[in-house]
């Protein structure tokens, strides 16, 4: 299934949101490769404003799943990566959110290239404070949870569905000037 060496344009266009996964686990080496792709995104002043929590434990996933309408996706995904904005590192919210989007996109592309599937979940942000509490990083000594704002959860695993067709507007609808 892995699409190794697929040209990048094809990789980008063939990626789809995958919401159903097999029970096959994701090993830590894969997760490290995915996160490494994420952190090589550019950021304004190279401030690298992202922080990550990797959730594989079934018990913790069940608690996380209770904080979104998309319960089943998180319950059935063997791995979730919660992506946070670290306010201690933030310098411009607009630019920091863009950088985090670039980081997530890198991860999605590498996940797809590995033959895995993922979905970028945003609805859970309505419970972002509760997610930050649940994944409380205080014990790690890295940060007080109040400094971390949830930006997205990426649920991933081995795909058990093909994904949708993918629809985009035509270029001439989105490019208003070429001079």
Contact status: 30 vs a second copy (CB under 8 A): no
- Which one among 18, 26, 55, 77 touches a second copy, defined by CB under 8 A? 55
Chain positions 120 to 139 lying near a second copy, rule: CB under 8 A, are 120, 122, 125, 135, 137
Per-residue DSSP letter, 100: H
Contact mark string toward a second copy, 138..167, x via CB under 8 A: --x-xx----x--xx-------------xx
H or E element in which residue 120 lies: strand 117-121
Q: Which of 86, 110, 97 is nearest to 32 (CA)?
A: 110
By CB under 8 A, tell whether 102 contacts a second copy: yes
Cα dist. 152→5, 22, 74, 112, 127 in Å? 28, 22, 13, 18, 11
Rule CB under 8 A: say whether 68 interacts with a second copy. no
User: Is 27 a residue that touches a second copy (CB under 8 A)?
Assistant: no
- Binding of a second copy at residue 24 (CB under 8 A)? no
Q: How far is the CB of 74 from a second copy (least distance, A)?
A: 14
Distance in angstroms (rounded) separating the CA atoms of residues 164 and 106? 20
What is the nearest approach in angstroms of a second copy to the Cβ of residue 78? 13
Mapped to the 3 state alphabet, what secondary structure does 51-90 carry? EEEEECCHHHHHHHHCCCCCHHHHHHCCEEEEEEEECCCC
33 binding a second copy? (CB under 8 A): yes
With CB under 8 A as the contact rule, the residue among 24, 27, 28, 161 that binds a second copy is 28
Residue 58 touches a second copy, criterion: CB under 8 A: no
Tell the smallest beta-carbon distance from residue 63 to a second copy (Å). 11
Figure out which of the listed residues 19, 21, 26, 35 binds a second copy, where binding follows CB under 8 A.
35
Positive or negative: CA dihedral 83, 87, 88, 94: positive
The alpha carbon dihedral of 138, 143, 148, 153 has a sign of negative
């Amino acid at each position: 299934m892995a699409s190794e060496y697929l040209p990048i344009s094809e990789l980008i266009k063939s990626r789809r949101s995958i919401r159903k996964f097999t029970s096959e686990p994701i090993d830590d080496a894969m997760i490290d490769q995915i996160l490494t792709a994420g952190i090589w995104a550019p950021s304004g002043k190279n401030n690298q404003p992202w922080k990550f929590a990797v959730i594989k434990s079934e018990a913790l996933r069940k608690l996380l799943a209770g904080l979104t309408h998309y319960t089943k996706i998180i319950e059935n995904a063997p791995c979730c990566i919660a992506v946070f904005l670290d306010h201690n590192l933030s310098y411009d919210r607009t630019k920091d959110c863009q950088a985090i989007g670039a980081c997530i996109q890198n991860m999605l592309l590498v996940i797809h290239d590995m033959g895995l599937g993922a979905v970028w979940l945003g609805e859970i942000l309505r419970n972002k404070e509760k997610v930050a509490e649940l994944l409380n990083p205080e014990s790690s000594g890295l940060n007080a949870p109040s400094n971390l704002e949830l930006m997205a959860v990426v649920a991933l695993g081995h795909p058990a569905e093909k994904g949708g067709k993918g629809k985009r507007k035509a270029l001439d609808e989105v490019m208003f000037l070429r001079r």
